[in-house]
Structure 1
Amino acid sequence: MSDALKQGAMQIVRRLYEAGFEAYLVGGCVRDEQLGRPVKDYDIATSAHPDKVQGLFERTVPTGLQHGTVTVVIGKKPYEVTTFRREGGYEAFRRPTEVEYIDSLTEDLQRRDFTMNAMAIDQSGDLIDPFDGLKDLKRGVLRCVGQAEERFGEDALRMMRCLRFASEYGLRVEQATWDALNSGISLLRHIAMERIRAELERMVGGSDPNRALELLAESRALRHVKQELLLSGLDKETEWPPLSRLMKMEHRLAFIYIRLEADPADVEADMIKLTFSRQQMETVKRIVAAHTVLVFGLDDATEWDEESYLRRRWIAAALTYGVSALRTLREIYLLEPAPIRTDNVKVGRAVDVWRRLGPVWLEQMPVSALAELAVGGKELMGHLGVKGGPWTGRLLHRLLEAAALGELCNDKETLLAAAREHYDKMQENDE
């Protein structure tokens, strides 16, 4: 895949050369090639102006003409081709106010963020590296091109990118770059929350989430974004278990919120501010809610250490929040020898039981959702001769729990017989 992708990119570079223009592969694709990492897309910089690029290729899309960018389609693959440019002043610490086309590759590379992203490859496959990006990569150093204060002042999002690159590529941030980041970190308040979320998502979901959390804590970056976040509290935490054992970004995030003792409503508010999708938010919230429900009130329970009681709690949570949320929660509980930091002995012991027996209990459940129950609301109403109401959902849930625990067989006759008894009890309690 990557070979075919590169061939398409080199085809564009050569076509531009043949037409008398300079053209080079630039940016992340060059960096990742030097590191032997897979390349997701290839970007091209050229001395040709956008109208010339459009004239040279059959299929083009004017994706960013105001920035000098044309997308060229080769086969079915899109490639961004951008004219060498110099950027004027910046507005809102994010976007250049004016773009001027130039003839110099070196000057074009000079406006980029970090030395490792300011390398190019020519039509012969030779590396052009005016700012020693490769040397920095080999030394394991992340360094801004030129003056770090200027680079971060032009585009404050570069500070979040700095933290992401350092964690993802295992790099040490060069001292002058780190000092500039710390002195300019308050500029993050100018950056849209969706941009912050995109960087955060890649950091937490990346190859070294623990290093990302360490850098976020050291820089206190999340205390300086546009909206106040519960996640900013992670700079009070110092030691984290290996989060990379959790495969999905959402599961890692759920663990972070659990460690910060967030309740589900706080999680929802935080994730809405950060513009996470509804689906991502639901996934994280369910895991946090399941944990909250499981440990809440254990102190007051008299039979808390009986296995049957802990099983009942575990299965009830699985029916409310979903089996997958409970499976993930158990993986979270397995992350630390001392389960979810707590001085509460009861919680500690209960979590220990859930870690050992939780998966077995989930496997043994004969039913795990209302759709699998042998009776539905209409049959209950018909059998009891009562109009539907709030009682219907409550009764169905009770039957589901009893069937999931193996206390009732999941067949129509058994469930309808039990329904009468449960319904009568509910009526007595409501009176």
Structure 2
Amino acid sequence: MTQDLERKAKKVIRKLLEHGYEAYMVGGCVRDKQLNRPVKDYDIATAAKPEQVQQLFQRTIPTGLQHGTVSVRMDDCLFEVTTFRTESGYEDFRHPTEVQFIDSLYEDLRRRDFTMNAMALDIDGHLIDPFDGVNDMKKNLLRCVGDANERFQEDALRMLRCIRFASQYGLEIENQTWLALLKQAPLLEHIAMERVRMELERMIAEAAPAHAVQLLEGSRLLDYVKQSLRLADLNQEKLSGDWSTLNDPLLKWAYLYLSMGVSAAETEQELRALTFSKQQVEQVRQVIAAAHELSRQLALEPNEDGLQQAWKLTVISYGQESIVGLHQILQASPGVLTELGVADKWSKSLITCGLTWLKDMPVHSLEELDLGGRELLARLSKPAGPWVSKVLAHLLRETALKRLANESDLLLAEAERFYESIIQQESGAHEHK
């Protein structure tokens, strides 16, 4: 797949060359090829102006003409083709106010962020590396091109990208680059939270998020973003186990907030501030809420039977997906619930027995009950009201805990009995008033 992609990228380059325009593969594809890593996409830089690129190729998309970028479709693949350029006047510490198209590859590479991203390959595979990017990578070093202070002032987001690249590629941040990052950190207040989230998401989703957390903690970068984040308080020493091995990135996020003892509501608020999608926010919130509910239930009956009951009740409150996710977090980091007051011995029991207890449950949700709300209303001949949800919740609880068989006749009999007890309680409460 990668070879096929490269072959098609070279078709684009060859056509540019045939019409007298310099063209090279640049950026991440060059870096990843030097590291023998899979290349996801090929970007092309050229001396051709955007309108010249559009004239040369039949199928193009004007992706970012003001910055010189045209997307070219070659066969079934899309390639970003960008004119050599210089940039200046970064008024918002993110985007250049002036872009000038040039015919110098060297000057185009000189404006880039890090040496390992400032390399090019010609169509024959010859490497152009004016800023010693390959040598830096051999030394496992991440270094800004030129003056690091200037690079971060031009685009403050580069500081978070610096952390991401260092953790993703297992690099040490070069001393002058690190000092500049610490000095320019306050500029992050100018960066949109959406961009912050995108960088953090990639850090956490990668294979070495613990390294990213360590660098974030050491740099204190998150102290300077637009909105206050609890994530800024992450302490690498308090993170335990193999949390970074969790397959689902959202479970990693849930773990981080659980490790700090942050409530589900606070987590939801923060993830919304970071512009996560509603679905992502809900998935993380449910796992954290399940952990807190489990802790609360266990506090009522702190013994093995109470633990099993607490686990099952949490399942019916927050669903199988959340409880399986919580189980995976526990497997990766058995001590994660200590922040919520759950003793290590109970966590170990959950790791051993949790999934067995889950399978042991006859029902896990209202949909699995052999009695629905409409049937309940019809059979009891009572007017609809809040009592319906109370009765169904009771039936689910009793059935899940195997105190009641999941058979419609038995469920109806219990529903009638429980309904009468609700009426008696309400009338008693009314008389007491």
Where on the TM-score scale, by shorter chain, does this alignment land: which range?
over 0.9
CA separation in 1, counterparts of 2:100 and 2:200? 32
* 1:211-253 Cα distance to aligned partner (Å, 9 max, x none): 0111111111111100011211114755433222211110000
RMSD after superposition: 1.5
Q: How far apart are residue 36 of structure 1 and its match? A: 1.2
> Structure 1 residues 38, 266: CA separation in 2 closer, same or farther (over 3 Å shift)?
same
Cα distance in 2, alignment partners of residues 178 and 295 from structure 1:
41
Label 1:297 to 1:410 Cα distance change in 2 as closer, same or farther (>3 A).
closer
Distance in 1 between the 2:215 and 2:40 partners? 26
Q: Find out whether 1:222 has 2:230 as its counterpart.
A: no
Q: In the alignment, is the contact (CA less than 8 A) between 1:121 and 1:127 conserved in 2?
A: yes
The answer to whether residue 310 in structure 2 is matched with residue 310 in structure 1 is no
How far is the alpha carbon of 1:348 from its aligned partner?
Answer: 3.1
Which residue is equivalent to 1:332? 329
Amino acid at match of 1:416: L
**CA separation in 2, counterparts of 1:124 and 1:223?**
46
**Cα-to-partner distance string for 1:65-90 (whole Å, 9 max, x where unaligned):** 00011000011211000000011211
| Contact persistence 1:339–1:352 (CA under 8 A) | no
Q: TM-score, normalised by structure 2?
A: 0.96
1:427 aligns with 2:423: yes
Distance in structure 2 (CA, Å) of the matches to 1:235 and 1:224: 17
Partner in structure 1 of residue 400 of structure 2: 404
Report the equivalent of 2:292.
Answer: 292
Deviation at 1:41, TM superposition (A): 0.8
Deviates more, 1:232-241 or 1:30-39: 232-241
**Secondary structure class of the residue paired with 1:44:** strand
Matched, 1:274 2:282: no
Tell me the TM-score normalized by structure 1.
0.96
Q: How far apart in 2 are the matches of 1:56 and 1:352?
A: 65
Relative distance call for 1:341 and 1:412 in structure 2 (3 A) is closer
Q: Which residue of 1 aligns with 2:409?
A: 413
Residue 72 of structure 2 aligns with an amino acid whose one-letter code is: V
| Cα deviation, residue 197, structure 1 | 0.1
Distance, in Å, in 2 between the alignment partners of 1:272 and 1:337 is: 28
By how many angstroms is 1:339 displaced? 4.7
Distance change in 2, residues 1:254/1:343 (3 Å): closer
- SS of 2:82's partner is strand
Q: Whole-Å Cα distance in 2 between the matches of residues 371 and 331 of structure 1?
A: 25
CA distance in 2 between partners of 1:172 and 1:426 (Å): 65
Instruction: State the Cα distance separating 1:336 from its structure 2 match.
Output: 3.2
Cα distance, 1:230–1:342 mapped onto 2, change above 3 Å: closer
Partner of residue 385, structure 2: 389
CA distance in 2, matches of 1:239, 1:284: 18
Q: Answer yes or no: is 1:157 the counterpart of 2:153.
A: no
Work out the CA distance in 2 between the residues paired with 1:288 and 1:341.
14
Q: Which amino acid aligns with 2:14?
A: R
**Residue 90 of structure 1 corresponds to which residue in structure 2?**
90
Tell me the amino acid that sits aligned with residue 130 of structure 1: P
2:334 equivalent to 1:323: no
**8 Å CA contact 2:63, 2:70 repeated in 1:** yes
Looking at structure 2, the residues matched to 237 and 380 of structure 1 have their Cα atoms a distance apart, in angstroms, of: 54
Shifted more, 280-289 versus 400-409: the winner is: 400-409
Alignment partners' CA distance in 2, 1:429 and 1:42: 70
Aligned to 1:24: 24
How far did residue 356 of structure 1 move?
Answer: 1.8
- Matched ranges for 1:184-263 at <5 A: 184-235=184-235, 238-263=238-263
Displacement of 1:370 in angstroms is: 1.1
| CA displacement, residues 121-152 of structure 1 (integer Å, 9 cap, x when unaligned) | 00111111000101111110000000000000
Alpha-carbon deviation of 1:334? 2.2
Which residue of structure 2 aligns with residue 8 of structure 1? 8
**Partner of 2:116: helix, strand, or coil?**
helix
Q: Does the 8 Å contact 1:259/1:340 carry over to 2?
A: yes
User: 1:384, CA displacement in angstroms?
Assistant: 1.8
